[in-house]
Structure 1
């Protein structure tokens, strides 16, 4: 793989839900995640993909928290749209008590969740079973996370 950076399409779903947990998103993977393989090429490891996705999501969470601290002036349409969802918020410092997220701990929890079978990972439709196993990516690759939940009454 000679790409300097690889873009990966990511999607998350939950067993028992028809709709995805959110819209699919794109993540650019830095080339420093590549590892040499036996054939002299370079591959990614699932462990590194999951860790990078968690780091990206933690950064996005922090940015959203910071944006909510800014007081917003809402238009009439924005107020109507927010009212339909059940909450109208103008932001501001009193609006949000910041939550500290330990990036390292978040990565460890995500990796342990994979080991414990809390979620499944599919790369281009193929199940991934080993955190340290090599994964081959191409520019159109997609990663699907499926969160498993316990059955009611079982």
Structure 2
């Protein structure tokens, strides 16, 4: 099959490519900064995400937890298993619906959340404080607009 090099050259000149690259490298930089601090807690980033999502709640069903975290449903069961082994969460079967599990922080999990969540937010705040409230609002609006393009 013969490829048309002019098509490839034209595609490589698309104006959105530099924006796409900037978005990807920004995400990578954020993840490197964020994950280094999270690992100091003894948790993986997905475990941290689950603990922080469950914090200040009475618990969540697995499907709710999957929707609210950055964790896929297929991965979530293993994460919950490992957090259960660390005695940070427990599965409860609600009497009104015995076909599903409610995931709840244990007292140890709640204590960990109370300890690590504010510290991590303060850690991130050091960087985000470099932006003005208007800049934060502009970035949020632009990201929401970009997301809507892909979810329409």
Does the TM-score normalized on the shorter chain lie above 0.5?
no
**TM-score after normalising by structure 1:** 0.25
Higher RCO (CA < 8 A, seq sep 6+): 1
The structure carrying a bigger strand percent of its residues is: 1
The structure carrying a bigger helix percent of its residues is: 2
Select the structure of larger CA radius of gyration: 2
**TM-score after normalising by structure 2:** 0.25
